[in-house]
Structure 1
Amino acid sequence: PESGELRLDGRPYREFSHEEVRARFAYVEQETPVVPGTVRDNLTFTYPDASEEEVWTALRKVRMAERVADMPDGLDTPLASTIVSGGERQRIALARALVRTPDVLLLDEATAQIDGLTEAAVHDCVRERAEEAAVVTIAHRLSTVIDADLIVVMENGAVRARGTHEELLASDELYRDLVRALRIATPAPASPELAAEIDGARRVATSG
């Protein structure tokens, strides 16, 4: 800032080290690697002091608890000795992020390799996390972002539009096309005026 002071939790931001800032973030990427070791190692390597209950709570949130409980040694099963799918690796990575209870959860196409039922579970735990902290999601699957407070539509490397799901349905043709192509059910608008706008937009899109 050119003037004033930026503070984080009342402390001047410039006093924070890179490590302290990064510790507030958890990142789940599209191609999620697993580290050598057990399921427990993969869930706690960024939070080694996590309790048993914290680990199982995170696994339950991503609907992975039953799968891990069925493994030969539960949390202590070496991942090299059991077969996990891409979607299961993704859920382990998300559970690892939730164990840390980050201030900011970053998701980069985090549901790209997950089946529909599991995707619904992931959405539930993301919504729950968003009640307490910030969640930033990059996604092509719009079902991942329709509940966001703010959606930014990108095209050719530039911001094309921004708004809520309802606002973008009413105002942006590309967003409407994406929603229609993915056959996403649209929620009831918040007001009669917005309902009329969306209805008119749909008629234009249909006639086009």
Structure 2
Amino acid sequence: MHVSPPTSEKMQLPIAAMPGSDKSKERRHHKSKEDSKGGGHHHHRLREKKKERAVKNTDASASTVTFSAPKHRGTEVGECDEDWEANRAAVERLCSQYPNSICADCGEAGTRWTSVNHGVFVCIRCSGVHRSLGVHVSKVKSTNMDRWSLAEVRLMEAIGNAKAKTLYEAHLPAGVRPSGGADAAADGAVRSFHSA
């Protein structure tokens, strides 16, 4: 069995023009240098058109697009329209009104904290218990140190401690509600009340 060598274009080309030869590399290298320098009328014209379009787009967009810095760092889009001071003042006003001025959990006076998703005002000790439950159970905010959205203010107005008592404690057995007594016992009662 006799196998004839394959005939290919490579074999028919002179050695100088074969891919991989030094002269072939020189030609490719020379051509890429021309392209990178802007050689060739066609490539030069394309670059000029791109520059013209970029300048036109910049000019057009500069006259119509305006940017404004957000009022507060780290705010999300749409939050800049909030009147944070007015919202905070509204929450503090609600906090000072009875029964919001009494802790929704233990009954102690002095509520500077809230559980926003429950719509209740709580004391500092009960806020710590709420915080330890995790934000998936209770989202704790300060009435005077945190920023309040209008939606959160409306929720606090809609529920508050009086309505919360009827909502959350309607079927609560006697003696389950936490009191302001011993810290550990009160903490355990608050924890079991909100975990149920």
Query: Under a length normalisation based on structure 2, what TM-score does the superposition of the two structures give?
Result: 0.23
Q: 1 or 2, which has the higher helix percentage?
A: 2
Q: 1 or 2, which has the higher strand percentage?
A: 1
Q: Which has the larger radius of gyration?
A: 2
